[in-house]
Structure 1
Amino acid sequence: MSRLQNKVAVITGGTSGIGLAAAQRFVAEGAFVYIFARRQDELDKVVASIGRNIVGVQGDVRKLEDLDRLYAKVASDGRTVDVVVANIGAVNSVKLADVTIESFNHNFDVNARGVLFTVQKSLPLLSNGASVILTSTVASLRGFPGRSAYAASKTALRSYARTWTMELKDRGIRVNTITPGPCDTPLIDAEVSSPEEAAAVRAKHAANIPLGRMARPEEIAAAMLFLASEDSSFVAGSELLVDGGMCSV
């Protein structure tokens, strides 16, 4: 298991769900990983649980000074970056009639602006031939009530992948979007008020997926590994659906 041997990866939102699974898999495949998230206690837990080849940096993708501090840490450790996984995302479910400036900005500040500056700030350290992975959502491809700003902010990532592939082609940097279907993560429990509600949400998602179940975070991480590794050396500017057939069938 050495598909990322001697590679350095930065993963935002690496303390739970898909980001955590990616951090675990990347370290297992030989990478040194920097995870970036807002809660220091969660960062400490993940670093302790993985136990090697991982550093946690506390910060918020909405704050440029925090992103500067993230990459300053990488530079001060004498490393460059081979993989960026711009994974952290904000979800604010509000129907059109109830959208406010605050709810709109909550989605765009993290999902669109935060991703752009996460990647922009990495450029001085990004190695030639590096891989940049942007985490989108099936909500960018299908209509879901209450997801106006969330879906629109995530749709921007597909455009980023096309534009940045052209801008960075002389350096051989590959930019791709990964689009997961509903994934069984703690975010589901955080969005509802009881275990019964969470079970109902999971059942509803499963009923809409041809494979009959939600994704596991480890399955999305495996697809990220493909995009991060040389296995995808001729994949650029694309969108990889990992949705159990939800948007294809």
Structure 2
Amino acid sequence: MQKFKNKVAVITGGTNGMGFATAQEFIREGARVIITGRNEERVNSAVAQLGDNAAGIVSDAGKMADISLLQEQVKRYTDKVDVLFVNAGYGKFASVEMVDEAHFDELFNMLVKGTFFTVQQMLPLMGNGSSVILNTSFVTAFGIQYFSVYTAAKSAVQSFIKTFSAECTAKGIRVNGISPGHIKTNIFNNTGLTAEQIDEAVASVIPTLPFGRFGDPLEIAKTVLFLASNDASYIHGAELLVDGGLSNVK
């Protein structure tokens, strides 16, 4: 039996990586999925791959002008949202001395302001039994050099899990978070690193991981579907680590 038959899931940043894998899994389980992405060509390509039960919206999670239109754009496809996975985002990393205001604002606009106002836009379409899932990160548990702004932004998202859940309890809306570790995605694509530098960075990280590998986007997707399902009906205000033990196993 398909767990999400006749349900609608909205996934921000759904054109690739964790968001795209999650969209595929929701569709396999019977849901209709609406994805967002910043680039029209990539949105259209992702929707074509996902098939008839998918729709796409061009929307930049870092721009309030786009976010303010999101509710009306989603209402073109549905009058209710059962699952919201706030996933859009990427990383930029630099030393404290090298971070400028543009770097700071870019990450906070996308990850913090984008998350907050995306949830604000979608809540009127969500009702009793629906679920909000925020994408945080394992980096909030550590002090990692060059990650100061990214970690601070993700820590703010982490705090939203608790505050949003407190407000949504009376509405019957569960709010949880997923904290991915190192996952095979394009997170490094906006860092300014060359392909060779990215490969070197990945190679340097792998020996530090308990299982000696990056996680697969599908492993994140499966966890998101669990949190959104009735199997997790008594999980609320929680954050699940999906980092292969990196935060706890040494």
Shorter-chain TM band: over 0.9
How much has 1:67 moved relative to structure 2?
A: 2.5
**Residue type at the aligned position of 2:209:** I
Aligned partners of 2:11 and 2:86 also within 8 Å: yes
Aligned partners of 1:133 and 1:178 also within 8 Å: yes
- Name the SS for the 2:143 alignment partner: coil
Determine the structure 2 residue equivalent to 1:156: 156
Shifted more, 200-209 versus 101-110: the winner is 200-209
Distance 1:10 1:88 in 2: 11
Distance 1:206 1:92 in 2: 20
Distance 1:36 1:78 in 2: 15
1:95 maps onto 2:70 in alignment: no
Distance 1:193 1:107 in 2: 20
| Normalised TM-score (structure 1) | 0.95
Distance 1:15 1:132 in 2: 19
Aligned length in residues: 248
**Residue type at the aligned position of 1:238:** A
Determine the structure 2 residue equivalent to 1:82: 82
Distance 1:53 1:222 in 2: 19
Determine the structure 2 residue equivalent to 1:193: 194
Unaligned runs of 5+ in 1: none
Unaligned runs of 5+ in 2: none
Distance 1:68 1:126 in 2: 17
**Residue type at the aligned position of 2:114:** G
How much has 1:37 moved relative to structure 2?
A: 0.8
Distance 1:157 1:197 in 2: 29
Query: Cα RMSD over matched residues?
Result: 1.5
How much has 1:127 moved relative to structure 2?
A: 1.8
Residues 225, 247 of structure 1: alpha-carbon distance in 2 compared, 3 angstrom cutoff: same
**Residue type at the aligned position of 2:92:** N
Residues 198, 152 of structure 1: alpha-carbon distance in 2 compared, 3 angstrom cutoff: same
How much has 1:161 moved relative to structure 2?
A: 0.7
**Residue type at the aligned position of 2:210:** P
Distance 2:2 2:142 in 1: 36
**Residue type at the aligned position of 2:31:** A
| Normalised TM-score (structure 2) | 0.94
Shifted more, 15-24 versus 1-10: the winner is 1-10
Aligned partners of 1:26 and 1:33 also within 8 Å: yes
Determine the structure 2 residue equivalent to 1:8: 8
Identity score, percent? 40
